[in-house]
Amino acid sequence: MTTAEVFSYLKPGSRLGAYRVREWKGGGAYGDVYRGVKDGKPVALKLSKHRQHSADPGKTDERLLRELVCLVHVDHPHIAKVQGWARTPQGRGYLVLEYVDGWTLAHWLQNARPTFQQVARLFAKLAHALEHMHGRRVRHRDLSLSNVMVRKVDGEPVLIDLGAGEYSGAQELTDAPLPPGTNRYRSPEAARFFKENQNNPDARYPFPPEDDLYSLAVCLYDALTDAEPARGGWEARKAPRIDVNSPMWAPPSARTANPRVPEALSEWVEKWMARDFEKRLPSLASMREALEALGAQEGAEWLAPVQAPPEAVSAVSEATGDPPAKARRRVLAGAVAAVVLAVGAFALLREAPSREAPFVPAVPESSSGPRAKPPQAHPSPPAPSTSAVPSPSEVPPAVKESPSVPAPTNPSSNPPVAKPPMKSAPAFSRGFLKKCAGAGALAAALLGCPAQQVQPTQERCPAAAAENIRRLGLDDGSQITILVDVKQPIFRSPDECKATGRVWSDEGWCLTLLGDGKLESETEEKIGRLPEGSRLYGRVWTEGATVVGRYTRARKPNGEEIDVCMSLSANGGLDKMPGSKPGAALVRPRDAATSITKQWH
């Protein structure tokens, strides 16, 4: 018998079949997901942790094949699409999937602060996706806030990860009473079955489609009642999660837990989560229709955000466009700055006035984050044949339905108001100025960014630059490998990296340090009519949750320069590495540039 192997992660830049790996996105017990690219188009690559015929108790290869069959059976705009399947030379299987650039549902709920109307509409689409899945005799079996993505570009939800999925007639892979899944989202019947059969090695829970709908109801309950859904049980939370699995009593209604929840929505969620299966069944059957009707409500309570912003933090967050955590830092920094100004004012009263030129304090510029473009409506595509795995060209892109859920946006901050100059400025001693400078620096550090820093707004690509992109043979969203900063070369050893003062990552990269300002990158492969070795010129912003980079000029190796629209990494931002700070972001030295013909986000 072949022994199970120790799995090694794929490094950015490595090859997986016809695809180049860009970054590791996440993984679990059965496999790992990478963002890859082929011909400039991003894909998700799900690679099994173990090869075929290995001594793998988790049966990861078999589960990958089962996920493949499940995905081939379905075709819905809110279910991630499969584009292909293959094996590595070592025998590991991998799926080629539609790449969903966005947030998990948990992060979207926590950071976007959606309204009740938006949440109802989003969950109606997920219920529709489950209806379609069950109509094709496929069950997800592991629905949770982490297995739903919300796309950045249009705010549409997409069901992902059918690794625990099952289709009718499939061979049983589970060697325990319950299939893989998250306990919080299991039905009362599943919990009862496990309690009664946990010591029975032959017992297997017959997972019904209604359990998927129950899981969706728990997800909705969490969306309405949990202010921190993206924080796991091991992370510090302001309040513990409400227990939904108690065998003794049902959880409090959503409206009891969060008085902002509309009564009608709370009542439906309570029906969908009823402890008695017979009482729950009729309401589950009408879940989609009920959610669609609820999402059509227009009253003030439906257009209100699900979670009320914390006092003070809300006002600062809306004024600055910052997320709540950052807003809290600004409140603290504002308090420190106020103390600094008070000390300075007191000192002014004690210093002798001067007749020198007046001093006008600088006013920080306001900032606003990247915005998402409005979604468009399209009809649903016809169901494909399930006789074979579709090729990438046969798989239609994800289709958007209406009404859609807007992606998170950062409110624009109010423009700064210049203060009138003082009639005269006092004369300060060097010691006094030094103290004030130190105190001011402390306040600026707590604010977390230099005064002049701004984030780019959503903009359309100029027509001439968009036409140049098309003349290069590129589409909106084509990707090409780049060296992020030509001034910071790639070092292959930790010693060389650290000798230059840079950081060596656990992934085996000498990280690039980016600050706000100009950026010059270089292409490392040919795409369309843009040669390898072309230089890209633009600007980078590092204050937000991601690094935003925009290129507006390209110079080919022959010296020809053209106007272009390209973004650093995916259109929307490059993930920061641990240790990053505003104005000093750590990123991988090699990533991707994405061509733009429509608009930057």
Domain match, 286 and 321 both? no
CB crowding 129-143: b at 16 or more within 10 Å, else e: bbbbbbebebbbbbb
Which of 49, 79, 98 is where one domain is finished?
Answer: 98
Residues 6 or more apart whose Cβ sits within 8 Å of residue 10: 16, 21, 24, 32, 34, 47
Say if 279 falls within a structural domain. Answer: yes
The pLDDT mean for the chain works out to 75
Domain match, 92 and 123 both? no
Is the pLDDT at 355 greater than 60? The verdict is no
User: Which of the residue ranges 12-21, 128-137, 357-366 would you say has the lowest mean pLDDT?
Assistant: 357-366
Domain match, 185 and 133 both? yes
Strand partners, 33: 26, 46
pLDDT at residue 500, rounded to an integer: 67
Element (H, E) at 494: helix 494-499
Which of 98, 131, 158 is where one domain is finished?
Answer: 98
Q: What is the pLDDT of residues 528-539, one digit of tens each?
A: 899 888 999 999
Q: Determine the Cα–Cα distance for residues 203 and 358; give it in Å rounded to an integer.
A: 84
Is the pLDDT at 51 greater than 80? The verdict is no
pLDDT at residue 310, rounded to an integer: 63
Say if 10 falls within a structural domain. Answer: no
Domain match, 206 and 251 both? yes
CA separation (Å) from 500 to 165, 376, 512?
A: 49, 49, 11
Say if 214 falls within a structural domain. Answer: yes
Strand partners, 595: 566
Q: Determine the Cα–Cα distance for residues 181 and 214; give it in Å rounded to an integer.
A: 13
Name which of 420, 397, 413 is nearest 449 in CA terms.
413
Is the pLDDT at 390 greater than 60? The verdict is no
Q: Determine the Cα–Cα distance for residues 124 and 295; give it in Å rounded to an integer.
A: 8
Domain match, 320 and 222 both? no
Domain match, 544 and 559 both? yes
Is pTM beyond 0.85? Reply is: no
Is the pLDDT at 324 greater than 60? The verdict is no
Which CATH number is 565's domain given? 2.40.128
Is the pLDDT at 577 greater than 60? The verdict is yes
Domain span including residue 253: 103-169+178-295
Residues 6 or more apart whose Cβ sits within 8 Å of residue 61: 48, 50, 51, 52, 53, 54, 92, 93
